[in-house]
Chain A
Amino acid sequence: MSEAPSPASVPARAPATRGAAGRAPGPLAWLVRNPRRVMPAVVVQALVTALVLAVVTPLTGFEATVEANIAPLSHYTGVTPSERNDFDPALSALLDANPAMQRRVRAKALWMQTPMIVGESYAMLLALEGADQADFLARIGNRLVAGTLPAPGSDGAVVPADVARARGLALGSRFGRLVDPEDVTPGRFTVVGLVEGPARVGLVDLAYATVPDFVLARIESFQVVYARPGRKAQSDAYLHAATNAEGKKAFKVWDEAYWRARTKKMLENLPTLVNAVVGAVTAIVGLVVVLLHLIAFQARSDEFALLLALGRTRRSLAARLAAESGLAAAVALALGLALGYGFLAVWEAQVLRPRAILLRFFDPYALALSAALPLASAAAGALVLAARLRRMDPVTILQRRNA
Chain B
Amino acid sequence: MSEAPVLSARALSLVYGDGARRTTAVEALDLDVARGEFVGLVGPSGSGKSSLLFLLAGLRRPTTGRVLLLGRPLDAAPDRNAALRRRHVGFVFQEPFLVPWLSLRENALVHATGPGAAARVEDLARRVGVAHLLDERPHRVSGGERQRAGLLRALANDPDLVLADEPTAFLDHPTGHAVMDVLRACVGRAALVVVTHDPEMLAGAHRVLHLRDGRLEATTAAGSPPATAAGA
Residues on A facing B (Cβ under 8 Å) = 1-7, 9-14, 16-25, 29-30, 33-34, 302-303, 305-314, 394-395, 398-399, 401-402
Pick from A10, A18, A307, A394: contact of B189, CB below 8 A. Answer: A10
**Which of A3, A24, A313 has the most chain B CB atoms inside 10 A of its CB?**
A24
B224: chain A residues within 8 A (beta carbon): 1
Interface of chain A, helix or strand or loop or mixed?
loop
Complex: how many Å from CA A34 to CA B100?
A: 10
The 8 tightest CB contacts between A and B, nearest first, are A311-B86, A22-B112, A1-B221, A22-B109, A4-B37, A19-B115, A21-B115, A311-B85
Given contacts A4-B206, A307-B111, A402-B50, whether A10 and B87 have CB atoms under 8 Å apart is no
Cα distance A386–B116 in the bound complex, in angstroms: 31
Instruction: Give bound CA distance, A18 to B112, whole Å.
Output: 9
Identify 29 residue pairs between A and B in the complex whose beta-carbon atoms are under 8 Å apart, listed by A's number. A1-B219, A2-B207, A2-B222, A3-B206, A4-B33, A4-B34, A6-B36, A16-B87, A16-B157, A16-B158, A18-B113, A21-B118, A22-B115, A23-B109, A23-B112, A24-B106, A24-B109, A25-B106, A33-B101, A305-B97, A307-B110, A309-B91, A310-B86, A310-B153, A311-B82, A311-B86, A399-B50, A401-B97, A402-B93
Residues of A within 8 A of B109 (CB): 22-24
Classify the secondary structure of B's interface with A.
Answer: loop
Q: How many angstroms between the C-alpha atoms of A146 and B81 in the bound complex? A: 83
A309 touching B115 in the complex, CB below 8 Å, given contacts A2-B221, A13-B188: no
A313 to B113, CA, bound (A): 13
Chain B residues proximal to chain A, CB less than 8 Å: 2-3, 33-37, 50, 54, 57, 59-60, 79, 81-87, 89, 91, 93-95, 97, 99, 101-102, 106, 109-118, 121, 153, 156-158, 165-166, 169, 188-189, 205-207, 219-222, 224
Is the pair B86, A19 in contact by a Cβ cutoff of 8 Å?
A: no
List of A residues within 8 angstroms of B84 by Cβ: 311
The docked-state distance in angstroms from the alpha carbon of A3 to that of B2 is: 14
Residues of A within 8 A of B169 (CB): 402
Assess the A18–B35 pair: CB atoms within 8 A: no
Q: Are B37 and A306 in contact (CB under 8 A)?
A: no
> Which chain B residues border A13 with CB–CB below 8 Å?
158, 188-189
Bound-state Cα–Cα, A11 to B187, Å: 11
Cβ–Cβ < 8 Å partners of B91 in chain A: 309-310
| Given A2-B221, A7-B36, A310-B59 contact (CB < 8 Å) | no
Inter-chain CA distance A23–B113, complex, in Å, is 8
Pick the residue among B57, B114, B189, B206 that contacts A2 (CB under 8 A): B206
Contact A402 B94 (CB under 8 A): yes
- How far is B118's CA from A135's CA once the two chains are assembled, in angstroms? 80
Q: Which residues of B contact A395 (CB under 8 A)?
A: 54, 59-60
Q: Which residues of A contact B81 (CB under 8 A)?
A: 311
Measured in the bound complex, the distance between the Cα atoms of B79 and A395 in whole Å is 12
